[in-house]
Amino acid sequence: MVERHPITDRESWLALRRQDVTASVVGALFGVHPYESALGLYLDKSGIEIDRRREREASLEDVLERGRIYEPVVAAMAAVKHPNWRILPAKEYLRDPEIQLGASPDFYVESDDGRGVLQVKTVTPRAAKTHWSDGPPFWIQLQTLTEMLLDGASWGAVACWVIDPYRRPDVEFFPVPRHPAAEDRIRAATASFWADMAAGNAPGPDYKQDAALLAALCPATVTAKAIDLSGDNRLPALLVERAAIKETIGIHETRVKEIETEVRHKMGDAEIARLPGWYLTMKDITRKAHTVKETTFKQLRVTSIAENEV
């Protein structure tokens, strides 16, 4: 049975969300979420990173504020494009207590096709070009699928408003049909996540996203502590790759500086230069003196050892 909780205030809504994997982060369970990883979600739900969770809840308030401003506008534009739709703000939190899966839909839609769920997103022109060229990113599709699953909706759609000051306001709609196989995978992944939580089995880190998390888990180095990683078969290949990339970066950086030096020489004391296809500026910038606050961080140094030196 899916519970329906009216959203009356921010604190009670956040308290409900803490109990569940929510639709907005389901993508983390599949490694496709741009802002959350499975490990980050695990730590949030375990309460290990209290400060991080508070920061996220503060950012959720920003999301709510944007929603209060933009969502009615998108709904109004949707009503113009789809006059047969009856669009209603959801204003409730849905949760399946058995598998601890929750969602806060933006809108419900009554139409000739039955009840639908409408997910609203606002993006910049650059984000639209980079991430929306083939439709909604996968994590947003998963979010919408989860909302449809919990509501029991017949259909779903994502409304994307590309906020461009140089274009007439317009909203593009992307249908998201029900997908029983995907819904089964969402249920299974959520149940597996909570089973791992209960057993204390943390997910492996996503090294692209979890640098800050891993640093927080091991904030200080133990002086003189040494470990033997000779049994790690993956590290040698990674270190060879790292060395090759750093060498390539160094070559490119040297060439960039060389090109910039030639450009500076040809501009002389000019602040502006024009040529077909390019507009160059070179301004004098004065950086004010300031005191840098003391910080502590881990500095990694990698040294290649020849085989005859081992």
pLDDT in tens, 237-294: 999 999 999 999 989 999 999 999 999 999 999 999 998 888 999 888 887 877 777 7
pLDDT digits (tens, 9 = 90+) for 191-218: 999 999 999 999 999 988 888 778 777 7
Q: Which residues contact 189 (CB under 8 A, 6 or more apart)?
A: 26, 29, 30
Within-domain flag for 153: yes
Q: Does residue 154 sit in the same domain as residue 256?
A: no
Within-domain flag for 170: yes
Q: Does residue 140 sit in the same domain as residue 71?
A: yes
Query: With contact defined as beta carbons under 8 Å apart, do 40 and 125 qualify?
Result: no
pLDDT reported for residue 310: 44
Query: Helix axis angle, 50-81 relative to 10-18, nearest 10°?
Result: 110
Within-domain flag for 268: yes
Least confident of 15-24, 66-75, 90-99: 66-75
Within-domain flag for 35: yes
Q: Does residue 126 sit in the same domain as residue 168?
A: yes
Within-domain flag for 227: no
231 pLDDT band (50/70/90 cuts)? very high
* Across 129-135, average pLDDT: 91
Within-domain flag for 291: yes
Choice between 295 and 198, residue whose per-residue pLDDT is larger: 198
Query: With contact defined as beta carbons under 8 Å apart, do 145 and 183 qualify?
Result: yes
Token pair in block for residue 148: 């449809």
| Average pLDDT of the residues of the chain | 87
Within-domain flag for 220: no
Neighbours of 291 (CB within 10 A): 5
DSSP per-residue codes, 29-51: GGT--SS--HHHHHHHHHTS-HH
pLDDT reported for residue 309: 47
Least confident of 120-129, 150-159, 170-179: 120-129
Q: Does residue 28 sit in the same domain as residue 165?
A: yes
What would you report as the CA-atom Rg of the chain, rounded to the nearest whole angstrom? Answer: 25
Neighbours of 144 (CB within 10 A): 26
> Rounded CA gap, 87 and 94, in Å?
18
Q: Examine the pLDDT at 116 and tell me if it is beyond 50.
A: yes
Q: Does residue 170 sit in the same domain as residue 275?
A: no
Q: Does residue 41 sit in the same domain as residue 188?
A: yes
pLDDT reported for residue 30: 96
pLDDT digits (tens, 9 = 90+) for 73-95: 888 898 899 999 999 999 999 99
pLDDT reported for residue 308: 47
Q: Examine the pLDDT at 53 and tell me if it is beyond 70.
A: no
Within-domain flag for 228: no
Query: With contact defined as beta carbons under 8 Å apart, do 88 and 75 qualify?
Result: no
Least confident of 52-61, 164-173, 270-279: 52-61
Q: Does residue 78 sit in the same domain as residue 159?
A: yes
Domain that includes residue 250, residue range: 235-309
Q: Does residue 32 sit in the same domain as residue 176?
A: yes
pLDDT digits (tens, 9 = 90+) for 28-48: 999 999 888 999 999 889 877
Cα–Cα separations (whole angstroms), residue 174 to 55, 119, 134, 291 = 31, 10, 10, 51
> Of 158, 187, 207, at which residue does a domain stop?
207
Q: Does residue 184 sit in the same domain as residue 261?
A: no
Q: Does residue 94 sit in the same domain as residue 242?
A: no
Query: With contact defined as beta carbons under 8 Å apart, do 175 and 187 qualify?
Result: no
Residue reference for tokens 């140089």: 166
Domain count, the chain: 2
| Phi and psi angles of residue 150, each rounded to the nearest 5 degrees, phi first | -70, -35
Query: With contact defined as beta carbons under 8 Å apart, do 137 and 232 qualify?
Result: no
Q: Nearest-5° angle of CA 193, CA 98, CA 204?
A: 5
- Segments in the chain forming alpha helices (H): 10-18, 38-46, 50-81, 125-131, 138-151, 180-199, 211-217, 235-267
Q: Does residue 61 sit in the same domain as residue 145?
A: yes
> Of 160, 188, 207, at which residue does a domain stop?
207
pLDDT reported for residue 49: 59
Q: Does residue 127 sit in the same domain as residue 251?
A: no
pLDDT reported for residue 33: 92
Q: What is the CATH number of the domain that holds 119?
A: 3.90.320.10
Query: What's this model's pTM, rounded to 2 decimal places?
Result: 0.78
Give the helix/strand (H/E) hosting 161.
strand 155-162
Residue reference for tokens 């650059």: 126
